[in-house]
Structure 1
């Protein structure tokens, strides 16, 4: 009888993951070094300086209006169709799907959830920080500006900082952050920097963002990438918890569903009171003839292995009257002839 159960697709996925190493030995988790802390502090200072320059309606706001009046989409209309598609590289939905597909394949190959968990952590930080800044400052975009030369702050907008730019920095920069070799990290850093720079300038070309929005979006995305090592211990704990949950779930699935715990029944001997005679039983006709009783010799009995072998003396043949027993020396045979 065949007792093997058919493997589902999820079981085959788990079996495929179990054949991979738990974590490649050559991949190092970035730590919050002194160099990274210096970069984080400098980027944070740049972020605050941009916010202060816009709030105080400084030269940066005047530059925003000059670029808006220049109308780059009218100066170079031949690249408008291409940049309409290129700006998609900064949208959160399509870029998250593309990058998560690549990182999911890496998780499959390396049997680790760290790439996907790191991407999820960075996107969560991006939504919280950039979303809070957008709603808190409430700046209107170039197409909805009301007063020429004003900073358009606190009017219920959600344009400052640029979400496309920050998302491009984080989504493509996470590939460089998770790179397994220094060479791949350098190449991916250059590619992500060029991509995010192009997305930011494209939003200025299309007139959907001020130039200061793009500058603040670059700083906001870079702050998230620089702060990720602080969240690595939390990511490791979440990965361990998810793998433990998976192991418990798999253990529950492998247990047979038809196995029902059976409570053992203990049979107690029936006792008969001393003053009550046992009930007479009806004779049962026996099928087999009763065997003769076996009588054993009294005394302790030894096992077969402990007994001393006894060699029989004499011949084992039954005695015959017409036979003469053999002596030690052979009898002389009669000689025939003269």
Structure 2
């Protein structure tokens, strides 16, 4: 008997995705247009310029030290509590959870895994690029600076570029990247840019980053968002692979239907070989002869007489008296005398 499997929450999610496997027509996938390529090249040049200005200990490094000595957290102490909460918008854990929840709902409504996969690809690129730059340049932060006026490079630090700023650009910028309409994309792009810059300035206010760290982190996050259309084919292939894997696992876990009974094999009578047929006939004749020999043993050797030729015998203990004139069966009766004449 076929049994029905209880659907789990994950099965219901994939069932929702199966209702419309194709991407909705009104969702515009960004492409690497000429305008985007120009912005990407400009941002990359800005990134290289910031790194070069810090390496040569230019006016940007002197500005970093002036802001650090200004100590904004002491000049505007009344906003310290607000800034402590606002800077959380750049922390990867809380922001990734909030944005993933929103994009998960978008995936449910649009019947596609693209929003969640785009977020995963952008965060992976962020970890690789920003993490490599942090470890490669090894700059120390304001609280751990060793000599006044130096760029503090290659001293084992990990603050250049600013991870909070780059994470804010990517996490909130992915909402603008996945917007359904051009108008929503423009508004969300401006909002994510202001939010990320605010997060970067909050780190400068708290004294955890140099101003140049914030500028480089903003450029690093923007590079990822501008280069993300190059990864759209990879996102599409990943979505197809995940859905195919889901179908294979579901087919493996499905209860097989009851199979029909196997047909009964009818034995095929083969024609016996002539030699085997002769042996079988000889065996039958020998069995008949033995059966005849067993039967003749029980027959009497004397000839059997008919019942009519036997003499009548009065049974022992009979109540009927003997009758001397009674003729035996088969004897001819005597001639009766004629009377009267």
- Shorter-chain TM-score bucket reads 0.7 to 0.9
SS at match of 1:150: coil
For the residues of structure 1 that align with 2:261 and 2:158, how far apart are their CA atoms?
A: 65
For the residues of structure 1 that align with 2:148 and 2:261, how far apart are their CA atoms?
A: 84
User: Counterparts of 1:48-127 in structure 2 under 5 Å?
Assistant: 48-127=48-127
1:43–1:222 contact (8 Å) kept in structure 2: yes
Return the index of the structure with the highest Cα Rg. 2
Q: Residues 50-91 of structure 1: CA distance to partner in whole angstroms, max 9, x if unpaired?
A: 000000000000000000000000001111011111101001
Match of 1:225 in 2: 225
For the residues of structure 2 that align with 1:241 and 1:2, how far apart are their CA atoms?
A: 29
Match of 2:7 in 1: 7
1:134–1:158 contact (8 Å) kept in structure 2: yes
1:160–1:213 contact (8 Å) kept in structure 2: yes
Q: Residues 97-144 of structure 1: CA distance to partner in whole angstroms, max 9, x if unpaired?
A: 111111111111111111111111111111111001000100000000
Q: Does 1:172 pair with 2:168?
A: no
1:173–1:225 contact (8 Å) kept in structure 2: yes
Unaligned runs of 5+ in 2: 285-341
1:132–1:265 distance in 2 versus 1, CA, 3 Å: farther
For the residues of structure 1 that align with 2:202 and 2:99, how far apart are their CA atoms?
A: 21
Match of 1:331 in 2: none
Deviation of 1:2 after TM superposition, in Å, equals: 7.8
State the superposition RMSD in angstroms. Answer: 2.2
1:168–1:196 contact (8 Å) kept in structure 2: yes
For the residues of structure 2 that align with 1:171 and 1:162, how far apart are their CA atoms?
A: 14
Match of 1:42 in 2: 42
Q: Does 1:146 pair with 2:133?
A: no
Q: Residues 302-334 of structure 1: CA distance to partner in whole angstroms, max 9, x if unpaired?
A: xxxxxxxxxxxxxxxxxxxxxxxxxxxxxxxxx
Match of 1:234 in 2: 234
For the residues of structure 1 that align with 2:86 and 2:166, how far apart are their CA atoms?
A: 15
For the residues of structure 2 that align with 1:48 and 1:255, how far apart are their CA atoms?
A: 60
1:262–1:213 distance in 2 versus 1, CA, 3 Å: farther
Q: Does 1:269 pair with 2:268?
A: yes
2:28–2:181 contact (8 Å) kept in structure 1: no
Deviation of 1:270 after TM superposition, in Å, equals: 4.1
For the residues of structure 2 that align with 1:132 and 1:265, how far apart are their CA atoms?
A: 71
For the residues of structure 2 that align with 1:65 and 1:46, how far apart are their CA atoms?
A: 21
What is the number of residues matched between the two proteins? 279
SS at match of 1:159: coil
1:159–1:209 contact (8 Å) kept in structure 2: yes
2:134–2:160 contact (8 Å) kept in structure 1: yes
Please, what TM-score do these two structures have when normalized by structure 1?
0.77
For the residues of structure 2 that align with 1:40 and 1:92, how far apart are their CA atoms?
A: 24
SS at match of 2:105: helix
Q: Does 1:195 pair with 2:200?
A: no
1:161–1:216 contact (8 Å) kept in structure 2: yes
Unaligned runs of 5+ in 1: 281-338
1:135–1:158 contact (8 Å) kept in structure 2: yes
For the residues of structure 2 that align with 1:265 and 1:78, how far apart are their CA atoms?
A: 92
1:17–1:235 distance in 2 versus 1, CA, 3 Å: closer
1:270–1:22 distance in 2 versus 1, CA, 3 Å: same
Match of 2:250 in 1: 250
Deviation of 1:262 after TM superposition, in Å, equals: 8.5
1:113–1:239 contact (8 Å) kept in structure 2: yes
Deviation of 1:193 after TM superposition, in Å, equals: 1.2
